[in-house]
Structure 1
Amino acid sequence: MLSSPHIPRKARSGVLLIVLAVGLTAFGTGCSDGTESRMETDSTEPLGSKEVTVPIPAVVTTIVSPGAEPRSLLRPEYPAGTVQRVTLHTSHHIEQQINDQSARDFSTPDLTIPMTAKTDADGIDLTLGTVTSPDPRLAKALTKTSGSHAGFDLSDLGTITALRLEPAPETSNPARAALEQAFYQAVYRSIAFPDLPVGEGAVWTVQQEVSGGVVLDQVTTATLTKRDGDRLTIELDVIQKPKSAVWNLPNNAGWLDIQDYVMQGNGTITVDLGLPLPVAGSITVGGHQAYRDPRSSSMLQQTIDTQVSWTE
């Protein structure tokens, strides 16, 4: 599309922004450029069931306040073979405006993903149930995803170190991309525990690099508001900042200057140390971004809102 002879040369930078804007929606959730571009294709051909493993950047936890006594280490305590049934719901809404043009909606459809988690010595394996979406087109594509698999590799501290995705053989391109984005959102909204004992009222931060076309520094502040045995209620505050002043476009297509970037949010989750996934909770992160094409001074502005929720 960028090289089409029907597009005037002086208009191409604006077209570039339009085409690449969809890719920008992924950077708040850690999706790769390829994930988002596949999502926009119309192909319904199945891509096979080959498993893909994506490393997740390491986290650094820092205790701000250890909280009240009694204090103890927060560690997952489930044995291999533990089974849990949960439902993941994700939404990702975005509006964008180029220069003084009318704002356009580039939101991706909401997903509801029931799954069965089973633990083993290396992490968590997930078998997906019937995935649904209110969007009719995507809902139809999702009908063949039942039985797909995903998984998380974990560190000794319970932190996710890798995401595994293995769609069912008949999963189409749009359905696969939707699942990828949903699980990336879940991974980057997960919580890591500190490596020292804490009690109720404890506050700690979790710093992590969110990979994508724009590399982000994400800092999550966690507050342990309640503990009832192994069940923990944790409030989360999330802030993301770009680690560079520019976005280097894929395929050596140049760069966009980051003029403004504000992404933050909060929520509350409930986790059980005897179970592998959150049992309840919701986290919303949103904000606005502005990018400038230095070759044409075209401006792209975006307003983004994402939400990840868990229910048993």
Structure 2
Amino acid sequence: MCAALVATGCSQTSADQSADEDPNDRIAVTLPVPAANVVVLNPGAEPRTQLEYNLEFSSTSEHTVTARSTISQVLGDDPEQDFSRPEVTMPISARVGGGNAAGNNVTLTVGDATSPDNLVNESFGDAAGSEATIRMDRNGSVQELTLSPTEESDDIARESLEHAIFQTVYGVVALPSEPVGVGAQWLVEQPIVSATEILQSTTVTLRERNGDVIVLDISVEQKPTLDFFDIPGAGRVLIDSFDSRGSGSITVDLTKPLPTDGNVDVRGEQQYSDPDSGFRVRQRTGMSLAWTTD
């Protein structure tokens, strides 16, 4: 994952933040978010209207996100090893900042995050008040993510929150620019930042609409764009097989920047090999996101 370290100030001081902490002393990590391409497959039933976010400046919404990613790996004939990340539950206060006709800046402030893993859970003690800022288009596309943990956050807390927030941002579904009605389907294609080039294709169905609130059914498939990838200093690895797919549903209030309810679960199996020795690595992977609103 590419990251650029830049010194920056935070837009506001969290109520949970230490009174002695100067937000301008924080180090921010800016992560690129690859652009999403949206194509309408079926415009749905009449009446059709354009779906777009209508975020009011300085408005705040409260969300709770639970993120989990799993990975188990078998090297050759060795026993399977588990490299899964502990589950993280984050209360998030989303505050809409300045913007223009194209979109808004949104600051996500993490409250008292928790994890069933004792080590990770203890590390969150000084992480309350950590922030992330996203630039969000009116169709829900996120252009950039900047993470700003509290100064007191240790490496475990920073890494755990960074991964969970990145999953959260990928969980925001881009909307079509064309008018659509109930039953509409559109395809969202977006590259995934990983060791190899992976394209995530998400088929979205508009199941319900009630004013600003919409319910979306989601089907996800991930595929590599090449049949190999290169590891710096280690050479080329072949992708023998790759399967990753999942589904879920989310509820979106178009006056709030994050989904208000729902869950998405993606599972996969992959096999890689060394082209010279034939040595094989097998993996099982998973990612899940669950949303609720306070």
- Determine if contact 1:279/1:311 at 8 Å carries over to the other structure: yes
Give the match's secondary structure for 1:133. Answer: coil
1:138 Cα deviation after fit: 1.0
Q: What is the CA–CA distance in structure 1 between the aligned matches of 2:3 and 2:175, rounded to whole Å?
A: 31
Q: Name the residue aligned to 2:19.
A: none
Query: Mind listing any 5+ residue stretches in structure 1 that lack a counterpart?
Result: 1-31, 36-47
Alpha carbon RMSD of aligned pairs, Å? 1.5
Q: Name the residue aligned to 1:283.
A: 264
> Structure 1 residue 296 and structure 2 residue 273: aligned?
no
- Determine if contact 2:3/2:32 at 8 Å carries over to the other structure: no
1:255 Cα deviation after fit: 1.9
- Determine if contact 1:33/1:212 at 8 Å carries over to the other structure: no
> Structure 1 residue 132 and structure 2 residue 114: aligned?
yes
Q: What is the CA–CA distance in structure 2 between the aligned matches of 1:105 and 1:243, rounded to whole Å?
A: 26
Q: What is the CA–CA distance in structure 1 between the aligned matches of 2:157 and 2:235, rounded to whole Å?
A: 30
| Aligned partner (choices 169, 175, 187) of residue 151 of structure 2 | 169
Per-residue deviation, residues 127-151 of structure 1 (Å, max 9, x unmatched): 1100110001111111110111112
Give the match's secondary structure for 1:141. Answer: helix
Identity of aligned residues (%): 35
> Structure 1 residue 100 and structure 2 residue 81: aligned?
no
> Structure 1 residue 261 and structure 2 residue 246: aligned?
no
Q: What is the CA–CA distance in structure 2 between the aligned matches of 1:254 and 1:192, rounded to whole Å?
A: 36
> Structure 1 residue 114 and structure 2 residue 91: aligned?
yes
Give the match's secondary structure for 1:187. Answer: helix
Q: Relative to structure 2, which stretch is displaced further, 124-133 or 96-105?
A: 96-105
Q: What is the CA–CA distance in structure 2 between the aligned matches of 1:140 and 1:49, rounded to whole Å?
A: 21
> Structure 1 residue 160 and structure 2 residue 142: aligned?
yes
**Aligned residue runs from structure 1 range 31-180, under 5 A:** 32=1, 49-121=26-98, 122-180=104-162
- Determine if contact 1:246/1:256 at 8 Å carries over to the other structure: yes
Q: What is the CA–CA distance in structure 1 between the aligned matches of 2:128 and 2:205, rounded to whole Å?
A: 36
TM-score (structure 1 length as normaliser): 0.83
> Structure 1 residue 212 and structure 2 residue 189: aligned?
no
Greater helix content:
1
Per-residue deviation, residues 30-73 of structure 1 (Å, max 9, x unmatched): xx1789xxxxxxxxxxxx73112222111111111111111100
Greater strand content:
2
Q: Against the structure 1 CA distance between its residues 268 and 232, is the aligned structure 2 distance closer, same or farther, given a 3 Å change threshold?
A: same
Q: Relative to structure 2, which stretch is displaced further, 105-114 or 241-250?
A: 241-250
Q: What is the CA–CA distance in structure 2 between the aligned matches of 1:221 and 1:273, rounded to whole Å?
A: 19
1:276 Cα deviation after fit: 1.3
Q: What is the CA–CA distance in structure 2 between the aligned matches of 1:85 and 1:134, rounded to whole Å?
A: 22
1:185 Cα deviation after fit: 1.4
Give the match's secondary structure for 1:92. Answer: strand
Q: Name the residue aligned to 2:286.
A: 305
Q: Name the residue aligned to 1:28.
A: none
Q: Name the residue aligned to 1:45.
A: none
Q: Name the residue aligned to 1:248.
A: 230
Q: Name the residue aligned to 1:39.
A: none
Q: What is the CA–CA distance in structure 2 between the aligned matches of 1:68 and 1:219, rounded to whole Å?
A: 23
Which of structure 1's runs of 4+ aligned residues deviate more than 3 A? none
> Structure 1 residue 228 and structure 2 residue 210: aligned?
yes
Q: Against the structure 1 CA distance between its residues 288 and 34, is the aligned structure 2 distance closer, same or farther, given a 3 Å change threshold?
A: farther
Q: What is the CA–CA distance in structure 1 between the aligned matches of 2:86 and 2:3, rounded to whole Å?
A: 18
Query: Mind listing any 5+ residue stretches in structure 2 that lack a counterpart?
Result: 5-24, 99-103
Q: Against the structure 1 CA distance between its residues 136 and 151, is the aligned structure 2 distance closer, same or farther, given a 3 Å change threshold?
A: same
Q: Name the residue aligned to 2:254.
A: 273
TM-score (structure 2 length as normaliser): 0.88
Give the match's secondary structure for 2:27. Answer: coil
- Determine if contact 2:140/2:172 at 8 Å carries over to the other structure: no
Q: What is the CA–CA distance in structure 1 between the aligned matches of 2:79 and 2:259, rounded to whole Å?
A: 40
